[in-house]
Amino acid sequence: MAESPSAKKKREGIEETHGTPGAQGNGGSDGDSFPLAELRVRKVLRESARDKTIFLHGQVNGVSGDGTDAVVILEKTPFQEENISDLLKRHTKLQLQMTNDIYSTYLLYPPPQLNEIKTTVVYPATEKHLQKYLRQEVYLIRETGEDYKNISLPFIQSQSFSIQWVYNILEKKAEADRIIYENPNPSDGFVLIPDFKWNQKQLDDLYLIAISHHREIKSLRDLTSEHLPLLRNILEEGKGAILKHFAVAGSQLRIYLHYQPSYYHLHVHFTALSYDAPGCSVERAHLLSDVIDNLELDSQYYQKRALTFPLRADEALLKKFQEAGKA
Ligand code: G7M
């Protein structure tokens, strides 16, 4: 979808609010904010009681008055230890729900500043964004090296899912003040930045991504021993930067690549080991240290081996595998 300058400006305003204004002192002004109160909810795309999240498809009126699609993700944030005593002292109400012997449950109503909801906005959202967040049946695919060449690669090349946000980070056009570490080498360097799923207010759900400066590596499938210096830099320098910045040791980090990724530009996930991050399960995550080992053993390892990954029922790639009789 072509993006109008005003929509782009709005989007950039919104993305500022993905940051951690409190931590970095650059809170976006309300004037630039997404008009949440004007959002007409069209559909609940997905919700999770366990993760305390809800994904909404809504519309707001564009300049011409027609509805422009938006995805709004609301997520209750984890507790922050340093706020707990405030929360207990300054609650506005404690409402008894039930009591039985020594057991009782209450509803506690905290003041607004201790009751925040992380809000992520994709606006304007394309049909692909809506599909991405819609709850779907999931199928496992086993993709051989040949399947990749014949089915997945042509499909990826025919797609236009924009990775402009990645280039914006690499070119310091967005999120520049959030960069934690950079190795500027164009072939072996990368940028380490908080993932936008993490608000940086607590370490329990620490989540950063390392984005390679090299622009020609789409995914795990493209990696050969030629890329070992880049991968080793990401592993070692990434761990070092996180230790320095957040005092979290490498042994407390899960460092991995997704296959398939959502965005075909090489990036590596760094999450807290104790955090069950979305997409860290065995059918999607490949530990970076294992990837390095495999490439040291065989430069063509990821071109040769079969890779398993999940695809949602509505994903066009699943249809391609089904048409080829492979799913
Ligand atoms: O599934 P995949 O390996 O492609 O993961 C991409 C990661 O990039 C996810 O963890 C997203 O939360 C993260 N991400 C996506 N966008 C659009 C942004 C963004 O604009 N900024 C940042 N910092 N992270 C993003």
The whole-number pLDDT of residue 63 equals 61
Task: Specify binding-site residues for substrate.
Answer: 165, 175, 195, 197, 258-269
Tokens representing 271 are 């999450």
DSSP alpha helix (H) spans, 187-265? 228-246
| Superfamily name and number for 34-76+116-135 | Scavenger mRNA decapping enzyme, N-terminal domain (3.30.200.40)
DSSP 3-state of 43: strand
Quick one: which atom of ligand 1 is closest to the CA of 278? 10
Distance (Å, rounded) from C-alpha 9 to C-alpha 138?
36
Is residue 165 lining ligand 1, measured as CB closer than 6 Å?
Answer: yes
For the stretch 116-171, pLDDT in tens is 999 999 999 998 899 888 888 999 999 999 999 999 999 999 987 789 999 999 99
Side-chain half-sphere exposure of 309, counting CA atoms within 13 A: 26
Structure confidence at residue 6 as a pLDDT band (50, 70, 90): very low
Cα 246 from Cα 205, distance rounded (Å) = 12
pLDDT at 12 over 90: no
Catalytic residues: 267
pLDDT digits (tens, 9 = 90+) for 70-121: 999 999 998 888 999 999 998 889 999 999 999 999 999 999 989 999 999 9
> For residue 19, is pLDDT > 70?
no
pTM, rounded to two decimals: 0.77
Give the separation between CA 76 and CA 267, rounded to whole angstroms.
Answer: 27
Beta strands in the chain (DSSP E): 40-48, 53-61, 67-76, 93-100, 103-109, 117-122, 138-143, 181-183, 190-194, 207-212, 253-258, 267-272, 285-287, 307-312
The protein residue whose alpha carbon is closest to atom 19 in ligand 1 is 196
Cα of 279 to ligand 1 centre, how many Å? 12
**Residues 52-77: what's their mean pLDDT?**
89
pLDDT of res. 24: 33
> Which atom belonging to ligand 1 lies closest to the Cα atom of 262?
4
More confident residue, 244 or 315: 244
For residue 78, the model assigns a pLDDT of 87
Q: Is 209 in the pocket of ligand 1 (CB under 6 A)?
A: yes
CATH architecture of 136-323: 2-Layer Sandwich (3.30)
Let me know: does 38 contact 61? Beta carbons within 8 Å.
yes
CA angle 64–70–72, rounded 5-degree value: 145
Ligand 1, pocket-test mutation among 262, 266, 267, 288, most atoms within 8 A of CB? 262
pLDDT at 10 over 60: no
Predicted confidence at residue 160, as pLDDT, reads: 75
> Is the confidence at residue 25, as pLDDT, over 80?
no
235 alpha carbon – ligand 1 mean position (Å): 18
What is the rounded average pLDDT for all residues in the chain? 88
Pick the CATH number of 78-115 from 3.40.50.300, 3.90.1420.10, 1.10.3720.10, 3.30.200.40: 3.30.200.40
- CA torsion, ordered 98, 104, 105, 106, to nearest 10 deg: 90
For the Cβ of 12 lying below 6 angstroms from any atom of ligand 1, the answer is: no
Average pLDDT over residues 290-312: 97
pLDDT at 8 over 70: no
What pLDDT is stored for residue 92 in this prediction? 86
Give the residue numbers of the binding site.
Answer: 165, 175, 195, 197, 258-269
Which stretch of DSSP H or E encloses residue 73?
Answer: strand 67-76
Confidence of residue 224 (pLDDT cuts 50, 70, 90): very high
Q: Do domains 78-115 and 136-323 have the same CATH topology?
A: no
Question: Using DSSP, how many helices (H) and how many strands (E) does the chain show?
Answer: 11, 14
In testing the pocket of ligand 1, which one of 165, 207, 234 has its CB within 8 Å of the most ligand atoms?
165
Q: What is the pLDDT of residue 327?
A: 84
- In sign, the C-alpha dihedral spanning 207, 242, 165, 317 is negative
Q: How confident is the model at residue 18 (pLDDT cuts 50, 70, 90)?
A: very low
Task: Determine if ligand 1 sits within 6 Å of the CB of residue 132.
Answer: no
> What residue ranges do the domains of the chain occupy?
34-76+116-135, 78-115, 136-323
Q: Find the helix or strand (DSSP H, E) in which 168 lies.
A: helix 164-170
Distance 91 CA to ligand 1 centre (A): 35
Q: How far, in Å, from the CA of 89 to the mean position of ligand 1?
A: 37
Is the pLDDT score of 315 beyond 90? no
| CA–centroid distance, residue 195 to ligand 1 (Å) | 6
Task: Tell me the pLDDT band of 217, cut-offs 50, 70 and 90.
Answer: very high
